[in-house]
Chain A
Amino acid sequence: MVSRGQSGTTPSRRDFLRYVAAGAGAVGAGALVTGCAGGAVRKAPVPSGPPRYGGRLRVGVVGGSSKDTLDAHTAVTHPDQARTFQLYDTLLEHDDDYRIRPALAESVESDPQATTWTIRLREGVEFHHGKTVTAEDVIHSLRRIADPDDPKNGAVGLSSLDLGAMRAMDSRTVRLTLSRPDVTLPDQFAEYSNGIVPVDYDPARPVGSGPFRHDSFDPGQQSLFTKNPRYWRDGEPYVDELVIIDFPDDTARINALLGGQVDAIDQVPLGLLRVLDADPNLRLLESETGSWLPFTMRVDRPPFDDVRVRQAFRLVVDREQMVRQVLGGHGRVGNDLYAPADPLFNSALPQRRRDVAKARQLLREAGKEGLTVELVTSPVAAGVVEAAQVFAQQAADAGITVTIRRVDTGEFFGDAYLSWDFAQDFWFTRNFLAQASSGSLPDSPYNETHWDHPEFNRLVREARATTDEARRRDLIARAQQIEWESGGYIVWGFPNQLDAHSVRVVGLAPDKSGIPLNSYGFRHAWLAQ
């Protein structure tokens, strides 16, 4: 941090971090005044009737920088993600309730062993340059993502693919033979990072089959898209042009929405929620999600290698207070389990509640009274640092001293990432098996708690190979029970996704995925008069 009072005439001018905080506050205060001046806020009703065509939709998206990309398979930032949804289609997709449904593929089916899969493509879908989407394009895309020499974001999820055993049966049918049974393949095919690109794909000329075509792109600044007139979904998209504008700073993004320079923004900071809600021209879009902001305890290192310590830490959390203070009430409490949106989620387990006496007793039994731990936190997502502070206070009631070490995101995701003893992280909505494969198995790429429980591993692997849903439900229920009893995550809550848009924008709905603005679903948005 830059210090104050340096030489020169302007001591506090370069005091950068303070600016961000004070800026957001000042905007909030000022806008609140103007918001209240109008008395009770009456918003225009949501327009009914048929969607209106035409116009230019301008969207402000958090983050973005000069490393922005249009590549279908390497999105990192939110603007990257937002662009991916416009340019490319996936074989399957998640609906607003996070259920999987067909998209580019009419069907994706497996044999009873879940090792041979058949993808049947929709007929007559065209890429932006006029070529029809065929089985060859699907094979090329999967090969590009899982390429062992240059793996893309989706490579880990597709690790069960046998790249040499992908066959085009005819122009619309692909047959995949997996190296191990995997029922999570449909989950992977519905991930936005696994879009289908043509065989002649070149990221410098980003061609997909999505609702919008690429027009211009200035990394870190903005990108312009035009309507794909031959899009395969009837009637969509409605707007002629779409501009996605990067906003690394919250204040600028909010000001742009308040000033009418953009029609929609993602990620409304909690502190500014009431300000935006008080504006008659704006509407909030709030979605319950399965995103989670866990505390991560390394189960293979002291003090958390003792399950009693992990249990004590889970018991010390006042989850309602967390949701109230960290999320301003915009969220739901968690039960130390992820994947609440999964239809197979084990909801039979009792909700864990705060029990300080029990926590103290467990610590005493473990010989860890008066324990001091360091919690590594970083603003990797909204609410993470605040959650660390609230946790430290709550843990103090059980005689635990939590020293908070705040690092910047670069350091957090740096060389020590995934090896902090006690830290935090954030995850979007995923179904149980897909999430467990990403973070809870010994060979998972993001096993931040170093969780390696033989029975859990066996249950997850067996569930991944079980096509019978009732049987899979049992296996998952047992795996989740083990996790609930002795896992290394503290899953205290699921924050809601909060976005905002002008009352003119119609067609965006709440969405469980945790991906902002209805999974950046601008293809079904339209502009009212």
Chain B
Amino acid sequence: MSRMLLKRVLLGVVILWAVSVVVFLATQALPGDAARAILGREATPERLAALRAQLHLDDPLWLQYASWLGDLLRLDLGESYSNGMPVTELLSARLNNSLALMVCATVISVPLSVLVGTYSALRRDKAFDHATSVVSLVLASLPEFVVGILLVLLLSTGALNLLPAVYVMTGSGSAWSDPVQLVLPTLTMVLAVSPYIVRIMRATMIEVLESEYVQQARLKGLPERTVVLRHALPNAIGPVAQVIALQLAWLAGGVVIVEFLFRFPGIGFALVDAVNNRDLPVVQTLTLAIAAVYIVVNLLADVVSLAANPKVRSAAR
């Protein structure tokens, strides 16, 4: 198992490197460069030349990439083209904010969906199960910006005026300092990722509950509680972990749209901004961070399903 882990980690590093190359080339393919984007319509030839020299945009491509990679290996993420701030300083607050959002969304959605999914499976074809089915199907088919806008209409600008519609920074600038403003974005993310987890949880649970060993446990006269918690749940959690991982990985990237909708100062908002400004160091850092989340989360999911399933565990040796 540890050999497999090592292999996966190495593979992850290679993937990250490949991502950095692709992102670098993709940003080069965008029309215009950082100097143009920064100066906008005020870009006279003299000002362009001065800024390009300052940002080393006239260097050959391979040299620009190599110097960026070299800095990265020395753990130096460089400076933002847009405002000259070190990328780490610029993004640490943003990362912290996005993390706040993702942690809140995860902590609420995962236990909630596992619970709802399990309960639906136990109450199969009863009213609760049907209701859950319909609601989760509807939510799953709605893109999260629609969900977000409906929530805004319902809870802040339309019917009720309970929660702030957009995020406006107060005090220290950390999202944790004003939790009320976190509610709507978190709720949107929870509603975006939960339906999938609920559905897979229900499906797997039903399958497991019909399996022979659960029958056997029931025939032994074990209380239903023990049957579900000790025998059924651990076997159902493997496939569910995979879906949870996919959803969490999606959170890292999908947070972009939710952040844009609520004007939430996180990495998604920063990424849109950086792409518009052709701010290469920031784009690279953010895409690598998001890719890293994907890789780590998927790895964790594999570990969980391996740990939960002895058959797979031994097969991987």
Q: Which of B69-77, B225-233, B246-254 contacts A (4 or more CB under 8 A)?
A: B246-254
Residue-wise, chain B 37-70 has the 8 Å CB interface mask toward A (1 for contact) of 1111111101100100000000000000000000
Q: Smallest CB–CB gap between A136 and chain B, Å?
A: 26
A14 CA / B274 CA spacing, docked (Å): 17
Q: Which of A47-55, A169-177, A258-266, A331-339 contacts B (4 or more CB under 8 A)?
A: A258-266
A22 CA / B148 CA spacing, docked (Å): 12
Q: Are A9 and B246 in contact (CB under 8 A)?
A: yes
A260 CA / B144 CA spacing, docked (Å): 24
Query: B residues within 8 A CB of A220?
Result: 273
- Is residue A26 contacting chain B, with contact meaning CB distance below 8 A? yes
Given A76-B40, A150-B50, A413-B43, A34 and B250 touching (CB < 8 A)? no
A78 CA / B153 CA spacing, docked (Å): 28
Interface residues of A in 242-288 (CB under 8 A from B): 245, 247-249, 251-252, 255-256, 258-262
Question: Which residue, of A66, A155, A259, A414, has the highest number of chain B Cβ atoms within 10 A?
Answer: A66
- Is residue A233 contacting chain B, with contact meaning CB distance below 8 A? no
Number of chain A residues whose Cβ lies closer than 8 Å to a Cβ of chain B: 60
Query: B residues within 8 A CB of A76?
Result: 38-42
A426 CA / B168 CA spacing, docked (Å): 31
Main secondary structure of the interface of B (DSSP, over half): helix
Q: Smallest CB–CB gap between B28 and chain A, Å?
A: 13
- Is residue A153 contacting chain B, with contact meaning CB distance below 8 A? yes
Q: Are A66 and B80 in contact (CB under 8 A)?
A: yes
Query: B residues within 8 A CB of A415?
Result: 32, 36
Q: Smallest CB–CB gap between A305 and chain B, Å?
A: 25
Q: Are B273 and A65 in contact (CB under 8 A)?
A: yes
Query: A residues within 8 A CB of B265?
Result: 221
A245 CA / B265 CA spacing, docked (Å): 12
Chain B contacts to A: CB under 8 angstroms: 30-32, 36-44, 46-47, 50, 80, 82-83, 90, 143-146, 149-150, 152-153, 156-159, 161, 164-166, 168-169, 173, 192, 196, 243, 246-247, 250, 253-254, 256-257, 260-263, 265, 270, 272-274, 276-279, 282
> Lowest 10 CB-CB distances: which A-B pairs, in order?
A259-B165, A411-B31, A255-B165, A67-B82, A258-B157, A30-B153, A410-B32, A414-B32, A252-B263, A19-B145
Chain A contacts to B: CB under 8 angstroms: 8-10, 12-16, 19, 22-23, 26-27, 30-31, 33-34, 58, 65-69, 74, 76-77, 149-151, 153, 155-156, 218-222, 245, 247-249, 251-252, 255-256, 258-262, 407-408, 410-411, 413-415, 417, 445-446
16 sampled A-B residue pairs with Cβ under 8 A: A9-B250, A13-B144, A13-B254, A23-B149, A30-B150, A65-B273, A65-B276, A74-B42, A151-B44, A153-B42, A221-B265, A248-B272, A251-B149, A255-B156, A259-B164, A414-B36
